Amino acid sequence: MPHTTSIPTSDFASPQALSEALEKHAYLSDEGLATACFLGLRMRRPLFLEGEAGVGKTELAKTLAAVLDVPLIRLQCYEGLDAAQALYDWDFPRQLLHLRAAEAAGVTDVERLESELYDRRFLVSRPLLQALETSTEERPAVLLVDEIDRADDEFEAFLLEVLSDFTISVPELGTIRAERPPVVVVTSNRTREVHDALKRRCLYHWLEHPAFDREVAIIRRRMPDATESLVRQVAGAAGRLRKLDLLKAPGIAESLDWTEALVALGARDLDPDIAAVTLGAVLKYREDTERVVAGGIGALFNGA
C-alpha cells in the first residue's frame, strides 16, 4: 500500500539504490537482503533475519542506522527479559526523594504532588519506548531486537503486540504513540522456533554465508591493509572450513578477525605455518581445531 506522506530521508528509489547506500558504509548486501531492507522501509514492516551466527545480522541493523543517519536502539534478548526491562520503569528512588523534598518544603497540595510524582521525568525509558519516542516521520530510529530466540515466549507475545500497533500505554501517563514506526530488525539464531504469529508480521529473510566473491569484497572493504592475495586466501580457506562440518563454522566476523590477526603479524600470504598459529581466530572449539590440523592445514589452501 503506497504511503502518501512526505518523502522521508529513508526513501530509496530501488533495492539497488539501498544496496549502494549500504555499500558506502562498508556493508555489502546481496540482492535478497537489499530487497528485504528496501521493502522493510517501504512497507514499514519489521525485518526478521535468521541465519548462522556471524553472517552479519546484527551488523545490518547497525549499518541501516548509519545509512539513515539515525540512532540505533538495541534490545538484547535473554531468558527472563520482561516488559519492565524492555519498555519503561518508574524511577522509584527519585520519586521518593521528590516526595521527601516536597514534604520538607511544606507542600500540602496532595493532588498536585501526586500528579507530579508520575511526571514524564520520573519515567525511565527502556529500548522499546525509546524507539517509539525518538522515531519521527523524517528520522525513524532503527530498533534492533537481537536474538529474539533467547527470550521466553511470553516476551515474544508481548513484542508481537508492540510491533503491531507501535503504541505503549503507561497507565499513569496515557498512551505513547510513535510518530512513525521505527525501522525494526529482529534477529534469531534459531535456537528455538519463534512463533509464526511474530514472523507473519515481518519480512522473513534467511542469511547465508557469503559466496567467495562477496566475502573477498567484504574483507577487502574492511581490511584495506591486507594484500589482495591474503584476502583471497582467507576467503577461500573460510569457504572450505564451512564445508568441513565443524561444530562452529566460521562466519564473516571470524574471517575478518583472522585477516586482522594475519595483518597484525605482517603476513602478506597465508601459508600453513602462519595459519597454524592464527587458527584460534577462526575456530572456536578444540575439536574443530584438532580436526582441521588432523586433516592437514595445507588442504585449506588448494588453488586459492
Partner 1 sequence: MAPRDVVETLTGFARTLRAAGVGADPERVQAMIGAVGHLDVLDARDVYWAGRLTMCADPADLPRYDRCFAAYFSGDTATVRRTAPPPVTVVRHAATPGTAGDDRPGDVSVATASEIEVLRLRDVARLSPAERAEVHRLLALLDDVTAQRRSRRFTARHRGRLDAHRTVRSILRRGGEISGLHYRAHRTRPRRVVLIVDVSGSMSPYADVLLRFAHAAVRSAPRSTEVFSAGTRLTRVTRELRHREPDAAMTAVSAAIPDWSGGTRLGEELKEFLDRFGQRGMARGAIVVIASDGWERGDTTLLGHQMERLHRLAHRVVWSNPHKAQPGYEPLTGGMLAALPYVDDFVAGHSLAALEELAGVIGNA
Site residues, partner 1 (CB under 8 A)? 1-2, 15, 31-32, 35-36, 38-39, 42-43, 45, 50, 78-80, 82, 90, 92-93, 95-96, 99-100, 103, 117, 149-150, 152-153, 189-192, 196, 199-200, 203-206, 245, 247-248
Q: How far is the CB of 297 from partner 1 (least distance, A)?
A: 22
Between 99 and 253, whose beta carbon lies closer to partner 1? Answer: 99
Nearer to partner 1, 30 or 271 (CB): 30
The whole-angstrom separation of Cα 94 and Cα 110 is 18
Q: How far is the CB of 274 from partner 1 (least distance, A)?
A: 29
Which residues are bridge partners to 206 per DSSP?
Answer: 50
Q: How far is the CB of 132 from partner 1 (least distance, A)?
A: 23
Name residue 70's amino acid: V
Q: Which is nearer to partner 1, 82 or 271 (CB)?
A: 82
Q: How far is the CB of 223 from partner 1 (least distance, A)?
A: 29
Q: Please, which residue, 40 or 236, has the CB nearer to partner 1? A: 40
CB of 110 to partner 1, least distance (A): 8
**Cβ pair 144, 183 in contact under 8 A:** no
- Classified as helix, coil or strand, 162 is helix
DSSP annotation of 236 = H
CB of 189 to partner 1, least distance (A): 6
Minimum CB distance to partner 1 smaller for 117 or for 304: 117
The neighbouring-strand residues paired with 167 are: 177
- Angstrom CA distances, 123 to 85, 120, 246, 262, stand at 12, 5, 48, 49
Smallest separation, CB 220 to partner 1 (Å): 26
Q: Are strands 167-170 and 88-90 parallel, antiparallel or unpaired?
A: unpaired
Determine the Cα–Cα distance for residues 222 and 29; give it in Å rounded to an integer.
Answer: 14
Retrieve residue 118's grid coordinates.
508520575
Residue closer to partner 1 (CB basis): 73 or 194: 194
Q: Are 22 and 29 in contact (CB under 8 A)?
A: yes
Question: What is the CA angle 221-225-230, rounded to 5?
Answer: 85
- In whole angstroms, the minimum distance from the beta carbon of 63 to partner 1 comes to 19
Cβ nearer to partner 1, comparing 204 with 212: 204
β-strands 123-125, 88-90 pairing: antiparallel
* Residue nearer to partner 1 on the CB measure, 225 or 245: 245
Phi, psi of 231 (to 5 degrees): -60, -45
User: Do β-strands 174-177 and 72-76 pair in parallel, antiparallel, or remain unpaired?
Assistant: unpaired
